[in-house]
A and B are shown apart, each in its own frame.
Chain A
Amino acid sequence: MSTHFPKDQEFLLPASRTFIGASLFVALMLDWLPWQGIWLALKPDFTALVLLYWCTHKPYRVGIGVAWVVGILADVADASLLGQHALAYSVLAFGGIVLHRRVQMFDLRQQTLQIFPLLLLAYAVYAAVHWQMRGYIAWEYFIGSVVSALLWPPLTILLQALRRPRANSGQL
């Protein structure tokens, strides 16, 4: 595995604006599905994951500004305080951009360990805002960060597969 090229060095189609937008859109829609009961507690933050993917793989295309705007949309949709998701996603995007070279060097398992603290940080922002508003720390928020981190490898594989040129896979 060490002699193998890192995943991102293989030839991928340039990520078009439409593709990035569509992936973020789909992630937001997944977040907005009517989750109920135990699934709500376990719900991973798809938007955060897709943002993090683009921040680590295309740090000059998707940055903190995009993350902030997406966060505002998530805030309005959740009827939460305006700025809560925006702040969390901005911090997450910053982490992704700072760590993007390191994350690209590793394989998926190591990447997961690298991005888990970033997700934890984003969820800590939610918990901190909650604590400021309600006066107690809600540990249940952090279940979501674990589930999100576990979802990183499949999501990366999926997005990489979508960015790979089609014809090649047929001929090989």
Chain B
Amino acid sequence: MEHTQSFKFFNRGPSPAVRLIFFSLLSLLLLFVDARYKYLEFARGVIAIPVQSLQHLTILPGELWQKAGTFLTAQSTLIGDNAQLRQQHILDAAQLQQLQTLQAENLHLHNLFQVQQEASYPMHLAKIAYAGHDIFNRKLLLTRDERSNVLAGQVVIDDRGVVGQVTRVYPLLNEVTLITDKDHAVPVQVLRNGLRAIAFGSGDLSELSLRYMPISSDVQEGDTLVTSGIDGTYPPGLPVATVSRIERDPAYPFARIRCTPIAGVDKHRQLLILTGLPDLPKRPQAVPEAPAGQPKKSSRKNP
């Protein structure tokens, strides 16, 4: 076999260099198109079906191991857990009562100010299938339920706060970009005083930063940041991060503000997807503004 192969000298097709150039150009083209446009999402979805079902196979042993572990857990731990959860439940119920009073009060106040009331949003539990393998680009992939209408752009939370945002929807899985991702930004508000800001991911799983905040801005260490809701993507009031460190160096125009995400960005097996986006009032049309601009010009001319 080793020797017969050398006789196939004449029908080997194009030389390796030609092939390399061809496939490199093809890859570069794909890279360019994928980075700039959305044309390849369909092809990606088609390839994803077999690939992601294979990936399910790779996490199967781990899941079986976990299941065996829980199966063999001693009853005492279960009893302990149960008691602890019961206590937690009582505490939560007490807080929930307060919440109901607060909600009623809030509704009342909203009615007083005649502001539209933000409804609570339908959500849907999804399991983490696996996390992305690129250390700089941690995407989470969640299992997808056929019945739920998950769309790209919807917000993913855990029991404590915002985890990320659905960025791509595959036939079998949903891809989630974490709030700590380098490219990701969340519009936030400081809970204490309502100051608006934007929290950027740092690429590090345990850190966010508030950029472009002047040195004099009223942010203190320990402040809680919640979503402001003015972007129309994130519903208002979800906890995002706490301010952990502030450096105010007079040499720079902006303060360096580091925050720690409140949600367990890298912790859970299950997350919640908020499947209903808030209905924003429609953006005012540009057309009525144009005639409004003309009288201004004329008014300028007049004097």
A residues at B contact (CB < 8 Å): 12, 14, 28-29, 31-36, 40-41, 43, 60, 63-65, 67-68, 71-73, 76-84, 86-87, 90-91, 93-94, 97-98, 129-130, 133-134, 138, 140-141
Contacts and interface: CB of A to CB of B under 8 A. Distances in A.
Nearest to B55: A32
A63 B24 contact: no
A97 B13 CA distance: 14
Q: Which 9 A-B pairs have the closest CB atoms?
A: A83-B30, A87-B27, A14-B1, A83-B31, A83-B27, A94-B20, A82-B34, A90-B23, A64-B19
A82 B16 contact: no
Secondary structure of the B side of the interface? helix
A140 to B, nearest CB: 6
Given A32-B133, A82-B43, A94-B19, 8 more contacts: A33-B58, A41-B135, A81-B31, A82-B30, A83-B26, A86-B30, A134-B136, A134-B182
Chain A contact residues, majority secondary structure:
helix
Interface in B12-43: 12, 16-17, 19-20, 23-24, 26-31, 33-35, 40, 43
28 contacts: A28-B54, A32-B54, A32-B133, A34-B58, A34-B62, A34-B130, A34-B131, A60-B12, A67-B23, A71-B27, A73-B51, A76-B47, A76-B48, A77-B52, A79-B137, A79-B175, A83-B26, A83-B27, A83-B30, A83-B31, A86-B26, A86-B30, A87-B24, A90-B20, A90-B24, A94-B16, A94-B17, A94-B20
Contacts of B135: 40-41, 140-141
B133 A129 contact: no
Given A72-B47, A76-B48, A78-B134, A90 B27 contact: yes
Interface of B: 1-2, 5, 8, 12, 16-17, 19-20, 23-24, 26-31, 33-35, 40, 43-44, 47-48, 51-52, 54-55, 57-59, 62, 130-137, 139, 141, 168, 175, 182-183
Nearest to B1: A14
Contacts, number: 116
A86 B27 contact: yes
Nearest to A45: B133
B5 A60 contact: yes
